[in-house]
Amino acid sequence: MKLISPTLLAVALLTTASAVSAQQGPPDGSTPEQQAVIANDPPYRVPHLKLAGLPANGRGTQRLFDGRSLAGWDSWLGYADPRDTYGSPSGGPIGLNHDTTGVFRVVTEDGRPAIFTSGKIWGGLITKANYRNYHLHLQFKWGKNAWFPMPRNNGVLYHSHGAYGAFFGTWMSALEFEIVPKSVGMLLTVGDSKGTHSFQTVDWRVGANVSVARDRSIAYPFRRYMPGGRLSPIQMPAFNVDAAVDAERPLGEWNTLDIYTLGDRSIHVVNGTPVLAASGLSTTDEAGRRHPLTEGRIQLQSEGAETYLRDITLTPITRLPRILSVGGKK
The pLDDT value given to residue 88: 87
**Cα separation, 241 vs 227, whole angstroms:** 13
Q: Which domains does the chain have, with CATH numbers?
A: 6-329 (2.60.120.560)
State how far the alpha carbon of 148 is from the alpha carbons of 13, 61, 304, in Å. 8, 37, 6
The pLDDT value given to residue 6: 59
Q: What is the DSSP letter of 200?
A: G
Question: Within 10 Å of residue 99's Cβ, how many Cβ atoms?
Answer: 21
Taking only the tens of pLDDT, the chain with its 330 residues reads 334 555 655 555 454 433 443 345 578 899 999 999 999 999 999 999 999 999 886 679 999 999 999 999 999 999 999 999 988 898 999 999 999 999 999 999 999 999 999 999 999 999 999 999 999 999 999 999 999 888 899 999 999 999 999 999 999 999 999 999 999 999 999 999 998 888 778 899 999 999 999 999 999 999 999 999 999 999 889 989 999 999 999 999 999 999 999 999 999 999 999 999 999 999 998 888 999 999 999 999 999 999 999 999 999 999 999 999 986 443
Q: 79-95: b or e for each residue (b if 16 or more CB lie within 10 Å)?
A: beebebbbbebeeebbe
Q: Write the DSSP string, 145-202.
A: EE-SSS---EEEEEEEESSTTTBTTTB-EEEEEEE-TT-TT-EEEE-B-TT---GGG-
**Cα separation, 301 vs 218, whole angstroms:** 23
Q: What is the CA radius of gyration of the chain?
A: 19
**Cα separation, 157 vs 248, whole angstroms:** 18
pTM of the model: 0.93
pLDDT in tens, 79-100: 999 999 988 898 999 999 999 9
For residue 289, which amino acid is it? Answer: R
The pLDDT value given to residue 329: 42
For residue 150, which amino acid is it? Answer: M
**Cα separation, 245 vs 186, whole angstroms:** 10
